[in-house]
Structure 1
Amino acid sequence: MKKNEDLLVINDLKKHFKINKKDTLKAVDGISFTIKKGETLGLVGESGCGKSTVGRTISQIYEPTSGEILFEHEDVHGKFSKAEVKQKKRDIQMIFQDPYSSLNPRLTVMEIISEGLVIHTPDASVKEREQQVNELLELVGLNKSHSGRYPHEFSGGQRQRIGIARALAVNPQFIVADEPIAALDVSIQAQIVNLLKTLQEEKELTYLFIAHDLSMVKYISDRIAVMYLGRIVELTDSENLYENPMHPYSEALLSAIPLPDPKMERSRVQILLKGDVPSPIDIPSGCRFHTRCPRAMDICSKLDPAFVERQPGHFVACHLHDEEVMAAEKNEWGSVSV
């Protein structure tokens, strides 16, 4: 597959969890997007919005409730032979958020990284696997002498490098990075992100980079999708989102990013959202953001906005950018504040 071709296509993906006989948690509730080969798509939003569930469903940890996940034009959750399933699991790997709990404390680094090699390259000798693990350790900035140690002997940043080496061991095409820097010190975060960018260039990798830190997402991502309560509300290229956010939720997230200039930081207006994120078990009617939106109109509580391309490559789900809706509101009330 050539660069800039669609590697991953998500069509109306839903992942619901049955809580009891009456209640269903709608973690992911109908999202669609594409990721091109060699691209990094950032997925951002508050905790509980469904970001990690998207990553785990793409990685085949969860079965989708409905919708399609097409990888190289084939549904990853379709019916395949054991060999085909094995290959698809090899092509899509995951880097987990918490480096302290994602590594088996009873295994050495050598055993952790070589697990995938044992499954996917059963004909390789022990010596060949050991050589591969040593090369991977050096690739992610660790020493091959670390291979005999256990996870508790390493810092958080070093553990995350081990997690990255484990994901790379089987030569995947696509990596889901689920908040890979969230549990790390600020001084280490930039090192890990720079490592991911370097590996992407060397290995021709494609990333879904899940995070809530918008400043770091801008640095690594080609495009960014903003997620709220199980839905994507805005999707555009990285620069455009920062310069021209179209959804009020995106504006609020961007206003919370600290500015390096103290004068600018003091003079700017931060958008403070009222209330908490509603429960995904009891989703509000209409636009699911209207209960917290500072620019909500009457129609927002009644009609769910469509996710539409309002500018070239810029998709948004918001009535403020629907000319027909705004005209109707203006006729009814005389004027509308946008």
Structure 2
Amino acid sequence: MIDKEKLLEVKNLKKYFTADKKQVLRAVDDISFDVYKGETLGLVGESGCGKSTAGRTINNLYNATSGQVIYNGEDILVKRSPDEIKDMNKKMQMIFQDPYSSLDPRLTVLEIISEGIRNHYPDLNKEERQVKVIELLELVGLNKKHANRYPHEFSGGQRQRIGIARALAVEPEFIIADEPIAALDVSIQAQIVNLLKELQQEKGLTYLFIAHDLSMVKHISDRIAVMYLGGLVELTDSEELYSDPLHPYTQALLSAIPIPNPVIERSRERVILTGDVPDPSNPPSGCRFRTRCPAAMDICAKVLPTWREVKKQHYVACHLYE
């Protein structure tokens, strides 16, 4: 993966929310990672860890507190002209978590998908837009009969397919998929993941795939970054993460995934985390994971661990490896 060309560089990205003058919620606190062309980077962690906020900040839906998001060599967080913003929106699209609230119930599927086409391809007439919409529907496993229906007439899985078609309508290079399968039945989740993989191969797409389910992320991700309470704790290749997780938090997440072999499942040791996730507006001193970590040491309460490469292309922030 390191020989590939970088498409996106996230450098020291921070996104803070101010509840009042005294309380600052550090939703994303100084994270850095790269995404290479044609790959899928999985971003995982518990609910509330800041992964969705990171995705929305990268896509400029939230204004970053500080840091850089460099896309194809250009920092997209600096002030830009309306035309430059429009061009960036075309290159970078988003698939949202909830297929029920992300589609306008007043519009037909044809209108929902053609909205982006109309904005970015103004030279196309109505008939040409309609042809393009039908092509997109067929690409995601639907058909032209669905074009004139409304979102409420579809199941959750079908709605998410419509959301994917909408994202593809402007022919993007990079898609941020913000927990696109979290609201779907388990039987439908694999279908959507397989669809995203097929589309990636067919169109050369690059994904940032945000999820809390490590077992599903493995099937689509080339590399995985693990996030806890606003910061990254581990990042490496998908296979490496599953075979040799280094951070105690990653180890705990992986130990919670059931193994279909009952003999192995009975004999393996679960890592049980105690306590609750701390308040991000009042995080613990030093390592943020130390209050729940089974391997916590004295230094963990005093010093924030540094982000370092412990093995080749295997990064971790933990005092155990310093």
TM tier, smaller: over 0.9
When normalised by structure 1's length, the TM-score is 0.94
Aligned amino acid, residue 103 of structure 1:
L
Q: CA deviation at 1:85?
A: 1.2
- Distance apart, 1:175 and its partner CA: 0.2
CA RMSD, aligned part only?
Answer: 0.8
- Partner residue of 1:260? 260
| 1:219-265 deviation digits (Å, cap 9, x = unpaired) | 10000000000000000000000011110000000000011112211
Structure 2 match to 1:164? 164
Give the letter aligned to residue 66 of structure 1.
S
- Deviation string for 1:14-54 (max 9, x for gaps)? 00001001001000000000000001000000000000001
Q: How does 1:33-52 map to 2 (within 5 A)?
A: 33-52=33-52
1:139 partnered with 2:143: no
Q: Which residue of 1 is the match for residue 65 of structure 2?
A: 65
Map residues 50-89 of structure 1 onto 2, 5 A cutoff: 50-89=50-89
Whole-angstrom distance in 2 between the partners of 1:39 and 1:266 = 35
Q: Deviation at 1:270?
A: 1.1
Contact 1:60/1:89 (8 A) holds in 2 = no
Please show how residues 196-275 of structure 1 align to structure 2 within 5 Å.
Answer: 196-275=196-275
Any idea what SS the aligned residue of 2:265 has? helix
2:181 corresponding residue in structure 1 = 181
Q: Distance in 1 between matches of 2:79 and 2:228?
A: 32
Letter matched to residue 85 of structure 2: V
Separation (CA, whole Å) in 1 of partners of 2:74 and 2:196: 27
Matched residues in 1 for 2:300 and 2:262: separation? 37
Single out whichever of 257-266 and 153-162 deviates more from structure 2.
257-266
Q: Which runs of 5+ in 2 are unaligned?
A: none
Structure 1 counterpart of 2:277, one-letter code? V
Contact 1:285 1:302 in 2 (8 A): yes
Unaligned runs of 5+ in 1: 323-338
For 1:185 and 1:30, locate their aligned partners in 2 and report how far apart those are by CA, in whole Å.
34
Q: Between Structure 1 and Structure 2, how many residues are aligned?
A: 320
Identity %: 68
- Please give the alpha-carbon distance, in whole angstroms, between the structure 1 residues aligned to 2:81 and 2:230: 32
Partner residue, 1:194: 194
Q: Distance in 1 between matches of 2:263 and 2:114?
A: 51
Cα separation, 2, equivalents of 1:112 and 1:196: 20
- The one-letter amino acid paired with 1:133 is V
Letter in 1 for 2:107: L
Q: Deviations over 1:42-75 (max 9, x none)?
A: 0000000000001101111011000000000111
Shift in Å at residue 79 of structure 1? Answer: 2.6
Partner of 1:331: none
1:116-168 Cα offsets, whole Å, 9 max, x none, are 11111112101111000000000000011100000010001000000000000
How many angstroms apart in 2 are the aligned matches of 1:201 and 1:239? Answer: 20
C-alpha separation in 1, matches of 2:163 and 2:151: 10
- 1:108 aligned residue: 108
CA deviations on 1:177-214 (whole Å, 9 max, x unpaired) are: 00101111111111000000000011100000000111
- Range with bigger deviation, 71-80 or 87-96: 71-80
The residue number in structure 1 matching 2:12 is: 12
How far apart, CA to CA, are the structure 2 residues paired with 1:265 and 1:212?
21
Equivalent residues of 1:215, 1:257 under 8 A apart: yes
Larger deviation, residues 139-148 vs 263-272:
263-272
Cα distance in 2 for residues equivalent to 1:14 and 1:254 = 27
In structure 1, the partner of 2:307 is 307
Looking at structure 2, the residues matched to 312 and 264 of structure 1 have their Cα atoms a distance apart, in angstroms, of 29
Cα distance between partner residues in 2 of 1:19 and 1:280: 12
| SS of the residue 1:304 aligns to | coil
TM-score by length of 2: 0.98
Structure 1 stretches of at least 4 aligned residues deviating more than 3 Å after TM superposition: none
Task: Kindly state the Cα deviation for residue 268 of structure 1 after the two structures are TM-superposed.
Answer: 1.4
SS of the equivalent of 1:70 reads strand
CA-CA distance at 1:316 after TM superposition: 0.3
Stretch moving more, 73-82 or 24-33 = 73-82
Q: Which has the larger radius of gyration?
A: 1
Cα displacement string for residues 70-113 of structure 1 (whole angstroms, at most 9, x for unaligned residues): 00011112232221111001111000011011111111000111
Give the distance between the partners of 1:300 and 1:65, measured in 2 at CA: 27
Could you give the per-residue CA deviations for residues 259-286 of structure 1, whole angstroms, max 9, x where no partner exists? 1112211221111100110011001000
Which secondary structure does the structure 2 equivalent of 1:266 belong to?
helix
The answer for the alignment partner of 1:326 in structure 2 is none
Residue number in structure 1 paired with 2:95: 95
Provide the secondary structure at the position in 1 that maps to 2:303: coil
Cα distance between partner residues in 1 of 2:82 and 2:252: 46
